[in-house]
Amino acid sequence: MKEIRHNWTKEEIVDIYRMPLMELLYRAATVHREYHDPNKVQVSTLLSIKTGGCPEDCGYCPQAARYHTDIEGNDLMSVSQVKAQALRAKASGSSRVCMGAAWRNVKDGPEFDQVLEMVRTINKLDMEVCCTLGMLTENQAKRLAEAGLYAYNHNLDTSEDYYKDVISTRAYKDRLDTIDNVRKSNVTVCSGGIIGMGEKLEDRAGMLVALSTLDPQPESVPINALVAVEGTPMEDMEPVPIWDMIRMVATTRIVMPRTQVRLSAGRTGMSREGQAMCFFAGANSIFAGDKLLTTPNPDVNEDMEMFRLLGLEPQAAFEKMPQPKTVEQADSKFESKGEKPKWTRPGHQIERNEIARQQAKS
């Protein structure tokens, strides 16, 4: 494996994004297979544990108190309610629960203590636990880590240059500071953004520069397509073309090889064929369930049927997804478990042959 780069420039990333599509897909898929099992996708369930009433002015978000949307707010859920939802998610194939609260920042006190208990409870179910709660101090990040938090999500949303056109109540540096506070604990970082908010290609590249130059790079990068919600400043934005999503996923995969690239919001507007191309381009994580916080999402049964058609398997919790580099490693991985090597299954002999070819070259 090549050394991970942390010095990508905006110009380089724009050039990658603009490559002829077939060349871009080939390059991204090659990188993906080098660092990940291309037939496994991590499945997460996103749960809104406290909805609405947020004091921020994010132009895309229906949970902002200042906008007139149809979102029904709710107070912080109970630990028992969250556990029930987590068990349901696990039964449907999710290996991670991500809990989101419409807060500007975390405040120490009874509600944060309740969230910590939620984290401990889900962790005992042998599931990865992620939270997205707004800005976070170093001490709060360490308390979440002690409770067993696996990942913390804090999106950059867009480039620093375009950021002021999206939100004014929180600075770009505030977001980077929260990511830095998470890094001071043993919690992994989940940070990505949204395309389709009126930004330029250079802004998409600028966001990837900001993420890829972090050292280490985020373990997870969600790529969201804007879901325009009536009542928000971005309600009239046109849907993002599927080709933009494919190019964004592929570019992210090339620039951040080890990262799990999450095909996130906007999947209801994508065909199975479009999503399949995103998986081929390097996406290896999705959110399952009929809702992402407040916006619609494909039904979990539809996703499992898509997985069946594409031959994809849900990734197990805490699995790092190393890709075998030799035929011997590939076969022994299954033989050690007393299982029949997957290479004897229909279609997988081609992949085994590719590993053998790469092994011979090296």
Residue 345 is a catalytic residue: no
Residue 61 is a catalytic residue: yes
Phi, psi dihedrals of residue 92, rounded to the nearest 5°: -90, 0
List the Cα angle 285/64/270 in 5-degree steps: 35
Q: One of 175, 183, 262, 267 is an active-site residue; which one?
A: 262
Reading the block at residue 44, the tokens are 């997460």
What's the CA gap between 341 and 201, in Å, rounded? Answer: 44
Q: One of 27, 175, 190, 204 is an active-site residue; which one?
A: 190
131 is in an annotated binding site: no
Phi, psi dihedrals of residue 166, rounded to the nearest 5°: -105, -40
| Residue 345 CB-density burial (10 A; 0-12 exposed, 13-18 middle, 19+ buried) | exposed
Q: Which distant-in-sequence residues (6+ apart) come within 8 Å of 70 by Cβ?
A: 62, 230, 231
Q: One of 5, 18, 33, 61 is an active-site residue; which one?
A: 61
CB burial string 82-95: b at 16+ within 10 A, e below:
bbebbeebbebbbb
Residue 98 is a catalytic residue: yes
Residue 262 is a catalytic residue: yes
Residue 131 is a catalytic residue: no
Reading the block at residue 273, the tokens are 């064929």
Rounded to the nearest 10 degrees, the angle between the axes of helix 272-280 and helix 300-310 is 60
Q: Is 148 left (phi over 0), alpha (psi -120 to 50) or beta?
A: left
61 is in an annotated binding site: yes
What's the CA gap between 192 and 221, in Å, rounded? Answer: 5
Query: What pairing do the DSSP bridges indicate for beta strands 220-225 and 260-263?
Result: parallel
What's the CA gap between 256 and 219, in Å, rounded? Answer: 9
Residue type, 204: R
DSSP state string for 244-283 = HHHHHHHHHHHHSTTSEEEE-TTGGGS-HHHHHHHHHTTE
List the Cα angle 278/281/286 in 5-degree steps: 45
What's the CA gap between 338 and 322, in Å, rounded? Answer: 19
Residue 104 is a catalytic residue: no
Q: One of 27, 96, 98, 170 is an active-site residue; which one?
A: 98
278 is in an annotated binding site: no
User: CA distances (Å), 74 to each of 53, 61, 115, 125, in order?
Assistant: 9, 16, 15, 25
Residues assigned a catalytic role: 54, 58, 61, 98, 130, 190, 262
User: Residues marked as binding for [2Fe-2S] cluster?
Assistant: 98, 130, 190, 262
Annotated binding site: 54, 58, 61, 98, 130, 190, 262
Q: Which residues are annotated as a binding site for [4Fe-4S] cluster?
A: 54, 58, 61
